[in-house]
Amino acid sequence: MLDNSALQQLYRYALSLTAEPAAAEDLLQGALEKLIAQQEKPQQVQAYTRRIIRNQFIDQCRRAKIIAFESLQEHEPVNMDTQSLEELVVMQDWVEKLLQHLNNAEREVLYMWAVLEYSTSEIAHELKQPRGTILSRLYRIRKKLEQIKGDLEENPNASLGQDAR
């Protein structure tokens, strides 16, 4: 049903949501338990399991009264050029700093764009959200990355604290 490679990918997706390895493992375990309880197995098991993971994460946040995903800000631009994101060059350790500054929704979109290599349309389809919302999140990711880059260039020895979760 799901080989080790698929399980690792699902774990990393869960990690993009939770930002915590133990929580990601729990989330994946819970999703697999729900999957095997299904009477009819879905055609695309991996994508289906990703949806279970996401829904479970949202449920957990709701119970803990945490806002899982921020609503789209009205003033956010929606005509972002994704090509500029494709051409962005970074140092490897900037990624961890960037993820510490992203919220759940932004980490999720970054994961789907970079690791699953989905187009913005594919991400919008999977998350059942408008393409404009996805573009805005990618725009915010780029802005935060530019801020990190600027801060590091100003003060190379600075350690950046966590911002959004």
Partner 1 sequence: MKNTSIDHQKKLLKQATQEYYKQHSLDAAALANMQTLLASSVQEERSSVDDVPQMRSGGRRLFTLAMAASIFCFVFTLGLWFKAIGPGAVTSDQMVEAIAMEVSKNHLKMKPLEVSSDDFSSVRDYFSELDFSPTRSDYFLADAGPMLGGRYCSIQGVTAAQLRYQVQGSNQSQSLYETTYDIAVFGELPVIEKDGIPIKTFARGLAVDIWVEKGLLMVSVRDMP
Q: Which two tokens stand for residue 101?
A: 């500054």
The whole-angstrom separation of Cα 127 and Cα 116 is 14
Which CB sits closer to partner 1, 82 or 129?
82
Q: State which H helix or E strand residue 18 sits in.
A: helix 4-18
Q: Considering the rule CB under 8 A, would residue 92 count as an interface residue with partner 1?
A: yes
The whole-angstrom separation of Cα 127 and Cα 142 is 20
* Contact residues for 32 (Cβ-Cβ < 8 A; gap 6+): 2, 49
Using CB under 8 A as the binding rule, the residues of this chain from 13 to 52 that contact partner 1 are 15-16, 21, 25, 28-30, 32-37, 39, 41
Q: Considering the rule CB under 8 A, would residue 110 count as an interface residue with partner 1?
A: yes
**Which of 58, 114, 152, 160 lies at the binding interface for partner 1 (CB under 8 A)?**
114
**Which of 53, 85, 102, 127 lies at the binding interface for partner 1 (CB under 8 A)?**
85
In the complex, the smallest distance separating the C-beta of residue 74 from partner 1, rounded to whole angstroms, is 27
In the complex, the smallest distance separating the C-beta of residue 10 from partner 1, rounded to whole angstroms, is 9
Angle formed at CA 31 by CA 28 and CA 37, multiple of 5 degrees: 145
Go through 57-84 and write b for each residue having 16 or more CB atoms within 10 A of its CB, e for each that does not: beebbeeeeeebbeebeeeeeeebeeee
Q: Considering the rule CB under 8 A, would residue 150 count as an interface residue with partner 1?
A: no
**Which of 87, 154, 156, 157 lies at the binding interface for partner 1 (CB under 8 A)?**
87
CB 97 within 8 A of CB 160: yes
Residues that bind partner 1 (CB under 8 A): 1-2, 4, 7-8, 11-12, 15-16, 21, 25, 28-30, 32-37, 39, 41, 63-64, 85-96, 99, 110-111, 113-115, 117, 145
